[in-house]
Amino acid sequence: MKQRYLKYKQAFLLGMLVISISACKHDSFLDVPPKGFLTDAATFSTSSNADLFVNDIYNQLPDINNEYQLSEQYADNSFCGAAWENGQSTVRSGSINPSNVPFGPANMWSWEGNYTAIRKCNVFLQQAEKNKANFPAAWYTERVAEVTYLRAFFYMQLFESYGGVPIIKIPLDNTTQGDAIFYARNSIDETLAFIEADCDAAAAALPLTPQDNGRATKGAALTLKGWVELFAASPLVNTNNDVSKWAKAAATNKQVMDLNTYSLFSIDTGAYAEQFLTKNNWNSETIFAKAYALPAKGSHREGYLGPVYVNGVQESWGNLAPTQGLVDDYAMDNGLPITDPASGYDDTHPYTHRESRFYQSIIFDGSEWQGDIFKSRTGGSNQIDLGSTSDITNTGYNARKTLDEAILGQASIASPPPSSANYIFYRYAEVLLSYAEAQNEAVGPDASVYTAVNAVRARSNCPAVKPGLSQGLMRDYIHRERRIELAFEDKRWFDIRRWKITSGPTGVLNTPEYGMQVTIEAGTGKLIYNRVKIFTNAYKDYQNWMPIPQSDRDKNPKLEQNPGY
C-alpha cells in the first residue's frame, strides 16, 4: 500500500499494458480465433471478422479488478496512506489541476482514453452501415445496438467527471479533415441528451437477456440512462432543483424495475456480498459487468486490496482500508444508527450487534480472515500504521466485501491469478436505490420509495425503514443506504460530488479523516478503542468537476476549461 508499491509500480504498469493488449476479458463471445491485422475492408467483410472489432471495443471497458487504487480512496470510504498515490497527494489535498488530473481506477475518466474508445465505436457504426449487406440482419441490429450502448457508456464516464464534452459522432482523421477535427465542448444538457438518445436507441434493439454473457442488454441501456439522469438531477448539475429532472430519473429507473428481468441476489439470509465471487458470476442481480476469463486474464483484487499479514505471512498490499466514518455509518442490528441513544451501541464493544452488511464488508480488530484473527491493535500483526511506513492499514480496518476469502493474497498477486470474478458496473440494488432517491425528490417519500428501500434492506436482514419520514429525513436515509449497500463498488466518489457534500465546513472531503486505534490496557488486558485523526482533507468545491487536461487543451484550442482551474 505504501513503500511496497514503489517497488512494484513500474512492473505493474508494464504488465497492465501487456495485458490490455493481449488478454481476453469476457466470456465465450470473445473467444474469436486471432486472424492477425485486418484492413477495414477485411474487418467488415463478414460478421465473424467484424466481431473482432466489437470485442476490442468491449475490451476498452475499464479493468478495475486489476487496479490497486479504487475511487473509494478519492472519496471518504477508504484511505491509503501512500503519500505518492493521487488519492492522498492530489484529490484529498485539494491539489487537482489541469496538469495532474486524476483519471480514476483503470483510467475510468481519461479524456484521451474515452475518446479513443468513442472513435472505435464511431468507426464500427460507420463501417457497419456501409457494409450492411455483408451481415445477417439480426447480427447487424444487435451489434449496432451494443456499440451504441458502449459509446454512451464512454460518454457517460466523461460526462460524470467533466460535465459537457464535445459530441463526436463520426471518426476523425486530421490527415483528411484538418482543423475540422477540433470540436468545442457541448453543454451539459446537450451531452446528457446525446447519452440518453444513444441509450434509447440501444434499448429499443437489445434483448432482455444476452446470447453471450457480458454483452449489453436492454436493461443495461436503461440503467445507464437512469444513472446519468440521476446525476443530472442532483445538486451539482441541477442547481435550481428542477423537480422534473428527478421525475425523469425516477421514471427511467422504474422502467428497469418493470422489465421483471432482475432480482436481488440471495443464497442465504443476509449473504448479499457473495454475489461478487466467481462462483456467482452472472447472478440475477447483475445488469452489466466486465468478465474475466482464465487463464488469459484474471483478477488481482485479493492481492492488491486484502489484509497485509495473514497467518504470519505478508500476503497482500492492503490497499482497501475503510475509514472510521464509513464504519460509523453501519447501523445496529435493530436498524438504529449508532448515534441514537436507543440503538444499544457500546463504544467499549464497537463491533457487536451491528447490521449484517457490516460483518460482510469490514475486517476489524478481532474478526477472522482466512483462519487468522485480524489484529490491528497495538502489538498485533496488522497494528494500525499511523506513520505510513508500511503496507499495513492506516485506519485499523480492511475491506472484506468484493474479496474472495478462499484466495490467498500471494496467489492473487501472481500471474495468472486464480480469480475470474466479474467487475459489476450496474446491479439491481443500485437501480432500486436510484429510483427511491429520484422518486423521493420528485414527489416525497411515497409508498413506492419505502418499498424499494425496504427490499434492499430486507435482503440483508435489516429492519424496514421507520414509517412517516419527512422528505428530508428520507433523503438522509437513502444517502446512507447507498453508502452502505454500494460500499467498495466505486459509487461513493460520484455520489458525494453530485450531492455537493465534498467541501465546505462539514464537507466529507474537507474535514479530518479518522481511523480506530486499539490499545491494550496494562494489567487487565482490556481493549481500549480510540478514534484517531489520520489525515486532514482539503478539498475544494470547484474540484467537483475535473479539469480538462492541459495536454488536450494544448492540442485542441476550442476546449474551454472548467471554472476554478
Per-residue pLDDT at 438: 99
pLDDT over threshold 60, residue 14 = no
Distance CA 361, CA 335 (A): 17
Distance CA 536, CA 548 (A): 26
**Rounded to 10 degrees, what is the CA torsion of 359, 361, 363, 369?**
80
Tens-digit pLDDT profile for residues 284-296 = 999 999 999 998 8
pLDDT over threshold 80, residue 39 = no
How large is the average pLDDT for residues 89-107? 97
Distance CA 544, CA 160 (A): 10
Tens-digit pLDDT profile for residues 60-89 = 999 999 999 999 999 999 998 788 899 999
DSSP element (H, E) containing 531: strand 527-535
How large is the average pLDDT for residues 429-451? 98
How large is the average pLDDT for residues 339-345? 97
Per-residue pLDDT at 70: 96
Tens-digit pLDDT profile for residues 494-523 = 999 999 999 999 999 999 999 999 999 999
Please name the residue ranges forming H helices in 331-470: 356-361, 409-413, 428-443, 447-459
**3-class SS of residue 141:** helix
pLDDT over threshold 80, residue 21 = no
Cell digits of residue 34: 486471432
Per-residue pLDDT at 387: 87
By CB atoms closer than 10 A (0-12, 13-18, 19+), residue 269 is exposed
- Whether 488 and 72 have beta carbons less than 8 Å apart is answered as yes
Per-residue pLDDT at 40: 81
Cell digits of residue 498: 453530485
pLDDT over threshold 60, residue 7 = no
Distance CA 331, CA 340 (A): 10
Cell digits of residue 120: 472505435
pLDDT over threshold 50, residue 9 = no
Tens-digit pLDDT profile for residues 297-314 = 999 999 999 999 999 999
Per-residue pLDDT at 2: 54
- Whether 288 and 261 have beta carbons less than 8 Å apart is answered as no
Confidence of residue 270 (pLDDT cuts 50, 70, 90): low
pLDDT over threshold 90, residue 404 = yes
Distance CA 228, CA 226 (A): 6
Distance CA 152, CA 154 (A): 6
The fraction of the chain above a pLDDT of 90, given in percent, is 87
Distance CA 428, CA 330 (A): 21
Look up residue 513 and give its DSSP letter: E
Per-residue pLDDT at 13: 32
Tens-digit pLDDT profile for residues 169-193 = 999 876 777 788 899 999 999 999 9
Written as one letter, the residue type at 280 is N
Q: How many Å separate Cα 50 from the centre of its chain? A: 30
Written as one letter, the residue type at 330 is Y
Per-residue pLDDT at 231: 99
Sign of CA dihedral 454, 456, 458, 462: negative
Distance CA 226, CA 196 (A): 9
* Cβ-proximal residues to 69 (8 Å cutoff; 6+ apart), any chain: 80, 85, 86, 87, 105, 319
Around Cβ 525, how many Cβ atoms within 10 Å? 7
Per-residue pLDDT at 5: 40
**3-class SS of residue 171:** coil
DSSP labels, 19-57: HHHH---SSGGG-PPP-----HHHHTSSHHHHHHHHHHH
Per-residue pLDDT at 80: 86
Beta bridge partners of 310: 313
Per-residue pLDDT at 296: 86
Instruction: Output the average pLDDT for the chain.
Output: 92
Confidence of residue 206 (pLDDT cuts 50, 70, 90): very high
DSSP element (H, E) containing 532: strand 527-535
Per-residue pLDDT at 82: 86
Per-residue pLDDT at 179: 80
Tens-digit pLDDT profile for residues 118-158 = 999 999 999 999 999 999 999 999 999 999 999 999 999 99
Distance CA 560, CA 565 (A): 11
Per-residue pLDDT at 269: 59
Per-residue pLDDT at 38: 54
